[in-house]
Amino acid sequence: MVKVLGIMGSPRRDGNSEILLSRALEGAAAAGAEVKRIRLAGLNISGCTECNDCYEDGSCSTADDMDRVYAALEWADRILLSSPIFFMGLPSQTKAMVDRTQRYWALKYVLHKPFPRLPEAPPRYGSFIGVGATKGKRLFDGAILTLRYFFDAIGAEPREDLYLLIRKVDEKGEIMERAAELDAAYKMGKALAKL
Ligand SMILES: Cc1cc2nc3c(=O)[nH]c(=O)nc-3n(C[C@H](O)[C@H](O)[C@H](O)COP(=O)(O)O)c2cc1C
């Protein structure tokens, strides 16, 4: 059974990205996946301090709720982040989580060790649901670039072909009026689980 982790990147509970994430996880579950969800805004996650302790053995010496995210990331075969765009990038809560995966970057590029997984684990893929209020062509460019490096650090292939990027949603829950996009989220979750 493939394991799908949904990471809720918005500080706004029951907002557009959370609704879309729920649809995607429903799709993944319908495809037979085991599903877990983590809400970053409810956790206490400090930023990376670049102490470089992780260069020694790949572990992080900052003790906080990121331990729960590390465990979930190591559990998952598919990582699906759902997040709004804030100032053309990821919200600070989500970016803090990304920065704290520096320990896996160090494991890969400093210590030349594989991501901690069982040898029989299925291939690992990453996907993204992004929402924003405006319609700018480059609205998601910053987030996509960050996620390319995030997924690389955690040993997951970014599946940009499955990314769902939704413009012109702003009010809380406004996405409920967009049936086609809710359906696209469901299908994306299903496809991610089936890869
Ligand atoms: C601090 C802040 C910054 C934002 N920056 C942008 C932005 O740069 N571009 C944009 O299109 N929308 C921006 N928005 C709007 C959100 O992306 C939009 O309201 C989104 O639907 C929120 O998703 P949520 O309901 O999942 O929290 C911003 C909102 C906030 C609160």
pLDDT digits (tens, 9 = 90+) for 129-159: 999 999 999 999 999 999 999 999 999 999 9
What is the band of 119 on the pLDDT scale with cuts at 50, 70, 90?
confident
Q: pLDDT value at position 87?
A: 98
Q: Angle 92-99/141-153 helices, nearest 10 degrees?
A: 30
Instruction: Please compute the mean of the pLDDT values over residues 177-195 and round it to a whole number.
Output: 98
- Determine if ligand 1 sits within 6 Å of the CB of residue 127: no
Q: β-pairing, 34-39 with 125-131? A: unpaired
- pLDDT for 38 equals 98
Residue 86 in contact with ligand 1 by CB distance below 6 A: yes
Percent of the chain at pLDDT above 90?
A: 97
CB 172 within 8 A of CB 12: yes
> 9: pLDDT confidence band, cut at 50, 70 and 90?
very high
* Containing structural domain, residue 138: 3-194
Residue 165 Cβ inside 6 Å of ligand 1? The answer reads no
Q: Determine the 3-state secondary structure of 139 from DSSP.
A: coil
67 Cβ closer than 6 Å to some ligand 1 atom: no
* Closest listed residue to residue 105, CA positions, set 158, 171, 150, 138: 150
Place 71 in a pLDDT band, splitting at 50, 70 and 90: very high
Give pLDDT tens digits for 17-70. 999 999 999 999 999 999 999 999 999 999 999 999 999 999 999 999 999 999
Tell how far the Cα of 2 is from the centroid of ligand 1, in angstroms. 32
Task: Point out the ligand 1 atom lying closest to the alpha carbon of residue 172.
Answer: 25
Mean pLDDT of the chain: 97
CA–CA separation, 195 and 123 (whole Å):
9
3 state SS of 83: strand
How far is the centre of ligand 1, averaged over its atoms, from the C-alpha of 133 (Å)? 6
Q: Count the domains in the chain.
A: 1
CATH number of the domain that 177 lies in?
Answer: 3.40.50.360
